[in-house]
Amino acid sequence: MSKADLANLLRNLSFFKGVNYPLQDLAGKISMARFDKDENIFNMGEDGNCLYLIVSGRVLIYSKSDTGQEVVIQTLKKSDFFGEMPLLDGGKRFASARAVEETVVFCLARKDLLDIVCKYPQVALKINDTMSKRLRLANVRLKILTGAGSIAGAQQTETGADKKTVGQPGQSPAAGQQPACEDELSQDIEKTFYRAKITCSVCAKKFESMKVRSSSIRVQRIDEDFCQHYQSVNPLYYEMVVCPRCGFAFNLEFSKTHMNAEQREKLKSRLQPVWQDRAKDYSGVRTWNDAMEAFQLALYALEDELVKSSKMGMLYLKAAWLYRYVGNEAGEQKYIEKVISAFAKAYETESFSEPKSELNIVYLLGALNLRAGKTQESAKWLELVLRHPAKSTQPMLVNQTKDLWAKARHKLREEKQA
């Protein structure tokens, strides 16, 4: 192919539009390469020595998780470029690239790219703009995948500071099912989430926060204490909304609770020093860490006797479930102890408006004590369910209690034999 032909091809690439560079001179510096379908162009961690411009075909940019699963970042098409980051910072490839179909690319060496960037600043701006969009895209993609559970079996620290674990067991979508561009990814997000309009109960700030659409919720299994495990996105990650102004975290159930002026001012004072140190935007797609931080903010705000013990117990229970999702038994057990204490207090002090609420509390005290290894205590609470005068109104719960009671009795016999 002549220099003139190459120059014409270069002229049709968006990378050079608006750049008054002598393309015929550049044509003498570039090389052309062809890749078959599924052929790797480069691998993550390799030295980067050239920029690639797609003449025809499509290229998949992807990375791999610690467990070896592919995490698709983006699919690029004709006129797109890739491989620019290590050329500018001298580092290693941060991702891998593979041809989705038979693909033809131009290769531009690092020294020639830097020469163009130095002479034509608009090229540098174009590269910088593209890099920023791709980094945002990669961040959203990874958050969705990890939030849906692409990393399994890792351990999470009690404070949620270990960033290695951000999800629950699951499976990454196949490469062919990934959105091919930023617009398609946005459509994916819109199908999964909606933005709820919220008014802060403390400072009256109006804001929006992501919630999971009911059509996107797929329950995989339910534990004996009602903890739901999901096939994809976990709605519990988005239960607590966080006010961007004052840091008050609450769920939509609490938003209906009336607070007087004194309570609001007390909460503002309580939250101010905490929120100043950790102010953060929780309104978008969340990781496990984001979800746990939102729950911890809510628990910090609401522990000061703003809600009944039964409601507080449910918040503790959901925090325990979050730890269960990542296999952190120490964090889970810590919150289960808090749940047991709160529910026992609720049983002693609260008047339940309907038998169902009381039966659920008593049943959960039985299930959670059994999970905590307190078999004798568990049996006591489960027996109360089976003897409750209103048990006939909740046949499913009673059947579940019978199964759990049989398990508790079996465990008691084992403990006595031991």
Residue 314 pairs in a beta bridge with none
On whether both 139 and 192 belong to a single domain, the answer is no
Question: Can you give the CATH number for the domain in which 59 is found?
Answer: 2.60.120.10
Residue 18 phi, psi dihedral angles, 5° rounding: 80, 5
Q: For residue 357, tell me if it sits in a domain.
A: no
On whether both 12 and 123 belong to a single domain, the answer is yes
On whether both 11 and 129 belong to a single domain, the answer is yes
On whether both 20 and 94 belong to a single domain, the answer is yes
Q: For residue 106, tell me if it sits in a domain.
A: yes
Taking only the tens place, the pLDDT of each residue in 220-243 is 899 999 999 998 889 999 999 999
On whether both 129 and 28 belong to a single domain, the answer is yes
- pLDDT reported for residue 174: 34
Secondary structure (H, E, C), the chain: CCHHHHHHHHHCCHHHCCCCCCHHHHHCCCEEEEECCCCEEECCCCECCEEEEEEECCEEEEEECCCCCEEEEEEECCCCEECCHHHHHCCECCCEEEECCCEEEEEEEHHHHHHHHHHCHHHHHHHHHHHHHHHHHHHHHHHHHHHHCCCCCCCCCCCCCCCCCCCCCCCCCCHHHCCCCHHHHHHHHHHHEEEEEEECCCCCCEEEEEEECHHHCCEEEECCCCCEEECCCCHHHHCCEECCCCCCEECCCHHHCCCCHHHHHHHHHHHHHHHHHHCCCCCCCCCHHHHHHHHHHHHHHHCCCCCCHHHHHHHHHHHHHHHHHCCCHHHHHHHHHHHHHHHHHHHHHCCCCCHHHHHHHHHHHHHHHHHCCCHHHHHHHHHHHHHCCCHHHCHHHHHHHHHHHHHHHHHHHHHHHC
Domain encompassing residue 109: 3-148
On whether both 125 and 255 belong to a single domain, the answer is no
Q: For residue 73, tell me if it sits in a domain.
A: yes
Q: For residue 209, tell me if it sits in a domain.
A: yes
Residue type (1 letter), 391: K
- pLDDT reported for residue 22: 63
Q: For residue 317, tell me if it sits in a domain.
A: no
Q: Is the pTM of this model over 0.85?
A: no
Q: For residue 179, tell me if it sits in a domain.
A: no
On whether both 75 and 198 belong to a single domain, the answer is no
- pLDDT reported for residue 1: 52
On whether both 134 and 7 belong to a single domain, the answer is yes
Q: For the chain, which ranges sit under pLDDT 70?
A: 1-27, 65-69, 71, 85-91, 117, 119-188, 304-305
Q: For residue 383, tell me if it sits in a domain.
A: no
On whether both 121 and 197 belong to a single domain, the answer is no
The residue among 93, 122, 148 that closes a domain is: 148
- pLDDT reported for residue 169: 30
The residue among 256, 276, 307 that closes a domain is: 307
On whether both 203 and 95 belong to a single domain, the answer is no
Q: For residue 404, tell me if it sits in a domain.
A: no
- pLDDT reported for residue 165: 32
The residue among 95, 116, 148 that closes a domain is: 148
- What's the total number of domains in the chain? 2
On whether both 13 and 142 belong to a single domain, the answer is yes
On whether both 210 and 92 belong to a single domain, the answer is no
